[in-house]
A and B are shown apart, each in its own frame.
Chain A
Amino acid sequence: MTRPRISLPGPGLLSGYDPTEFFCEALSPRDDGAAQLAAIAARLNALDPDDLRRRAARAEKELFDLGITFTVYSDKDAIDRILPFDVLPRVITPGEWTRLEAGIIQRVTAINLFLADLYGDQKILADKIVPADLVLGNANFHSFMRGLKVPCGTYSHVCGIDLIRDQEGLFRVLEDNARTPSGVSYVVENRNLMLQCFPDLMEETRVRAVDDYGLMLRRALEEIAPAGVDEPSVVLLSPGIYNSAFFEHVFLAREMGVPLVEGRDLVVENDRVYMLTTAGKAPVHSIYRRIDDFFLDPKVFRPDSMLGVPGLMDAYRKGNVSLANAPGTGVADDKAVYAYMPRIIKYYLGEDAILPNVETFICREAEGLKYTLDNLEHLVVKPVGESGGYGMILGPKATKAEIDEFRAKLKADPANYISQPMIGLSVSPTLTEKGTQPRHVDFRPFAVTGASTKVLAGGLTRVAMKEGSLVVNSSQGGGSKDTWVLAGEGQ
């Protein structure tokens, strides 16, 4: 099948490039932005491959020098790795972005209403829209959150919605990340790198800025601070330098201009939270925490945890400190709950989902399990409790033996799995050793919610660096690209 593509003036970088049957993020036409897309494609095509490689190498060195890294642990060493950066950007038109933004705001709004309901009256369970046991039996559902009023009614303050684009060019939601989604630091740093190493590429292209994320986040954290606090003191709570996402914590604390604290820097006295400073104890009102629920407070969760703050949950329950994201948001981004999201949106907002899900079969239901077992070789099957692409199987790419082995696992614990048809993820031209080639990409935009929801005009485009691979996770060799949201009229 040949799909229409933007024509290029003469031979160049993209001459041998063939996205085959997949939607191409650079060369497939959209409903709008034709002139801008054509100009960018022509500009990319005119790049000299050797020069591009030299500059890519320089960008990579800069990433190492600046320590823009994630940490991988081997037996005895901690190794800092950079997220491979591909220099060819991915482009989103103004019209596409308008729809994406509306769809994300709609989804985040529904997620927050859903969480408020689950920790309130539980109407959606009574009305049997979502099976009660799916929620109440979930390890991420915290009964101590029941009846608690959170500021602005917001539970998921930072939400990362994973999207893919199917073969028709339609964005679909693959996964919700309502707890502590990471990656936004790369969105901003990739842009910085792009501006530094490829200023000529960005000339005359009106790309929307992404460097206001820190301010957006800080404003939201101030909005959710306990009532009556005039100048809320905001901190970022990190597990510390040995966490693989420590760079992101550094980045966010710096961008927000707030202290980066660890559990040992905080104390709770009389149900109020303080940080230990050189001048003694200073009050803390709003915490952007990047540690998981179960490590927040050893008095409530794991008594052996050194990462958290004893008494933090008491202070939280009393309303003396705000936490973003709220504990217990994990129940909304569960891969099993995901299947119900279109119905959840309809239930609370009376609207159809602007961004459709990927069709999903729930193996805990007899029908879903049977369909999955019958069609294993066509489906992607994922465990609901894992992240980072672990424990999944790509049916069409698996051997017969692998499928048989997986069938046994699935039968032994069907409730742990969902399945989805294999989607032909869109591709984007990517600089490889063999020249410019199509590589599959996904997309994670970030929404920040305090009193209202704002979406950063950009997002993390992850790219599967291996030929033909659909796995974009950094832990499995994925890289990233700068994402250009083109400015529309008046933006």
Chain B
Amino acid sequence: MTELLARNADCIVWLARYMERAENLARILGVAETFARDRAGRNWLAVVQINADEERFFARHRVADARTVPHFYILDPDNPNSILSSIKAARENARTLRPMISIEMWRQINRMNTWMGGLSDNAVAPANLAALCEEIKEACQLHVGITEGTFYRDQAHYFYHLGKSIERADQTTRLLDIKYHTLLPRPEDVGSALDISHWNALLKAVAGYQASRRVLAGKITPRSVAAFLLFSDSFPRSVILCVRQMDWLMTQLRTRYHLRGGVKALELLDGLRAALTDHDIDHVIDHGLHEFIDWVQSQLMAIFAEIQDSFCVTRQPSQSQSQ
């Protein structure tokens, strides 16, 4: 069986996106929890803002605090962006893909979904939140590991990694945004102990603490960390690495499997890669980091739409999944 159903390509891309999204949301909540310890809870609103969920959130809650925000983003079944919803959606996609994915992959997603469904409100209470975020991250990483070790390397594997890379790039920009845009300290606080500790927390959240210590040689500044997250050649969650990965995956799909589609997506990827290669961090910051991040996010969305249009078309539109 060499063909891949267009609908299954869509499902595998989304499976990867939802799992990556769940992991990143756990990371964001983890870092927000760290920030909140210092700033009496002011920063919970930032999580809502970077996800552009203000409308949906305030329709359900009056204030964004240590109880409402984690609940909204972890356990709320009516929030399509909650971790619970993401895992459920990942499982639905996995269910469709069951004849293709390994039994181990399916079992783990299925178990994780059952576990998430059984969590009580108490699990997201402030005292338990950090531990829960850790557990969710680990479960997601278990998925990644099982996938790496058991998923057959055919077309579907390339689409899986396309979905994962696109989501990861998007989420890294969001994490950067939470600190740089929303938590922008007063000018006099830049470089203060508090500021540095926030950057450290953020780096820990993206699993980049160790690497950044080595690479940045102790120069933890807004510029150096932003440069690391955007442009690092070697950090697995850096935006440029995700973009390069997508470019490679698309090329593989076109050469190994002779897929003719995806020309427009490749062009867009090329443009995005050029922008990330040609500009240095000073240029980006001078012209507005937040604006740059916004542009990167919109390019990622356009690339994803092109991939879907090229490869994932069925006779009737499949149920739309949430961006």
Chain A interface, DSSP helix/strand/loop, else mixed: mixed
Interface pair A250/B99, CB less than 8 Å apart: yes
Q: Separation in Å of the B14 CB from the closest CB of chain A?
A: 14
Q: Separation in Å of the A195 CB from the closest CB of chain B?
A: 15
Is A253 in contact with chain B by the CB < 8 A criterion? yes
Is B95 in contact with chain A by the CB < 8 A criterion? yes
- Scan A257-295; emit 1 where CB is below 8 A from any B CB, else 0: 111111111110000000111111010000000000000
Interface pair B5/A241, CB less than 8 Å apart: no
Is B258 in contact with chain A by the CB < 8 A criterion? yes
Nearest 8 A-B pairs (CB), nearest first?
A: A253-B99, A254-B99, A277-B3, A250-B98, A278-B311, A264-B316, A264-B315, A264-B314
Q: Separation in Å of the A12 CB from the closest CB of chain B?
A: 35
Q: Separation in Å of the B130 CB from the closest CB of chain A?
A: 28
In the complex, 16 of the A-B residue pairs with CB atoms within 8 angstroms, ordered by the A residue number, are: A65-B114, A67-B106, A67-B110, A240-B96, A260-B98, A262-B7, A263-B315, A264-B7, A264-B315, A265-B5, A265-B6, A275-B5, A277-B6, A278-B4, A278-B261, A279-B4
Is B257 in contact with chain A by the CB < 8 A criterion? yes
Interface pair B315/A265, CB less than 8 Å apart: yes
Q: How far is the CA of A268 from the CA of B103 in the complex (A)?
A: 33
Q: Separation in Å of the B303 CB from the closest CB of chain A?
A: 16
Interface pair B98/A254, CB less than 8 Å apart: yes
Say yes or no: A66-B314 contact (C-beta < 8 A), given A246-B95, A265-B7, A277-B3.
Answer: no
| B65 CB contacts on chain A under 8 angstroms | none
Residues of B in contact with A, size category: 20 to 34
Is A201 in contact with chain B by the CB < 8 A criterion? no
Q: How far is the CA of A262 from the CA of B99 in the complex (A)?
A: 13
Q: Which residue of B lies closest to A259 (CB)?
A: B5
Q: Which residue of B lies closest to A234 (CB)?
A: B1
Q: Separation in Å of the A473 CB from the closest CB of chain B?
A: 24
Interface pair B260/A267, CB less than 8 Å apart: no
With most chain B CB atoms within 10 A of its CB, the pick from A257, A260, A278 is A278
Residues of A in contact with B, size category: 20 to 34
- Scan B1-24; emit 1 where CB is below 8 A from any A CB, else 0: 101111111000000000000000
Q: How far is the CA of A65 from the CA of B261 in the complex (A)?
A: 38
Is A64 in contact with chain B by the CB < 8 A criterion? yes
Q: How far is the CA of A265 from the CA of B8 in the complex (A)?
A: 10
Q: Which residue of B lies closest to A253 (CB)?
A: B99
Q: How far is the CA of A276 from the CA of B313 in the complex (A)?
A: 7
Interface pair A65/B107, CB less than 8 Å apart: yes
Q: Which residue of A lies closest to B158 (CB)?
A: A278
Is A145 in contact with chain B by the CB < 8 A criterion? no
Say yes or no: A66-B3 contact (C-beta < 8 A), given A264-B314, A264-B318, A278-B311.
Answer: no
Is B155 in contact with chain A by the CB < 8 A criterion? yes
Say yes or no: A241-B96 contact (C-beta < 8 A), given A267-B315, A279-B258, A282-B3.
Answer: yes
Interface pair B99/A261, CB less than 8 Å apart: no
Q: Which residues in window 138-162 of B have CB below 8 A to A? A: 155, 159
Is A8 in contact with chain B by the CB < 8 A criterion? no
| B258 CB contacts on chain A under 8 angstroms | 279
With most chain A CB atoms within 10 A of its CB, the pick from B96, B106, B257, B260 is B96
Is B215 in contact with chain A by the CB < 8 A criterion? no
Q: Which residue of A lies closest to B93 (CB)?
A: A241
Interface pair A65/B111, CB less than 8 Å apart: yes
Q: Which residue of B lies closest to A256 (CB)?
A: B99
Q: How far is the CA of A282 from the CA of B2 in the complex (A)?
A: 10
Contact of B314 among A260, A276, A279, A280 (CB under 8 A): A276
Q: Separation in Å of the A405 CB from the closest CB of chain B?
A: 42
Is A150 in contact with chain B by the CB < 8 A criterion? no
Q: Which residue of A lies closest to B311 (CB)?
A: A278
Is A354 in contact with chain B by the CB < 8 A criterion? no
| B312 CB contacts on chain A under 8 angstroms | 278
